[in-house]
Amino acid sequence: MRHRVYAFIVGITVGLGLLVLPAPTQAAKGQAGSQLHFGVDMARRGLWNEALFRFQRALVERPGDAQILNNVAVAYEALGLFDEALEVYREALDAAPANRDLRANYSRFLEFYQSFKPADAPDETGEDPTDG
């Protein structure tokens, strides 16, 4: 159990560095951009429920945005909602399959997720994180 808790803390620590803020373009400004920035600030403070709420609000403004989806997935990870994180990472990869940062986050998550789940649980990913 201690190994799993340590792995979770390491995963979250790594995840904090992988939150994505959009470049300060005109598209990043406005409601979605401000929600996203506020969410990242909340995540850095460890207020993951608030961060998730803000990321979800940003996603309403910009549905399918891979950067925002990435942040939603990281927030789910931080909250221990691993199945939800997996689903959102996959949605983000569908939106931006060539995004290297996103693929790195997803690979890191799969490595953690597969080591965290019980050994007798079926492999829910069905994917090779290094494929592609």
Q: Is 74 domain-assigned?
A: yes
Q: How many CA atoms lie within 13 A of 82 on its CB side?
A: 17
C-alpha distances out from residue 115 to 59, 63, 91, Å: 30, 31, 22
71: in domain: yes
Total number of domains constituting the chain = 1
Q: Are 7 and 109 in contact (CB under 8 A)?
A: no
Residue 130 lies in a domain: no
Q: Is residue 129 included in any domain, yes or no? A: no
DSSP symbol at 117: S
Determine, yes or no, domain membership for 22. no
For 15-40, the pLDDT digits (tens) are 444 666 554 444 456 889 999 999 99
CA distance 37 to 55: 9
Residue 108 is part of which domain span?
A: 2-17+30-116
DSSP state of 132: -
CATH code for the domain in which residue 57 is found: 1.25.40.10
Residue 54 lies in a domain: yes
Query: Considering the domain boundaries, does residue 125 fall inside one?
Result: no
Q: For 30, how many CA atoms within 13 A lie in the half-sphere containing its CB?
A: 11
13, pLDDT greater than 50: no
Helices (H), 29-95: 31-44, 48-61, 66-78, 82-95
The model carries a pTM of: 0.72
- Asked if residue 121 is part of any domain, the answer here is no
Q: What is the pLDDT of residues 67-121, one digit of tens each?
A: 999 999 999 999 999 999 999 999 999 999 999 999 999 999 999 888 877 655 5
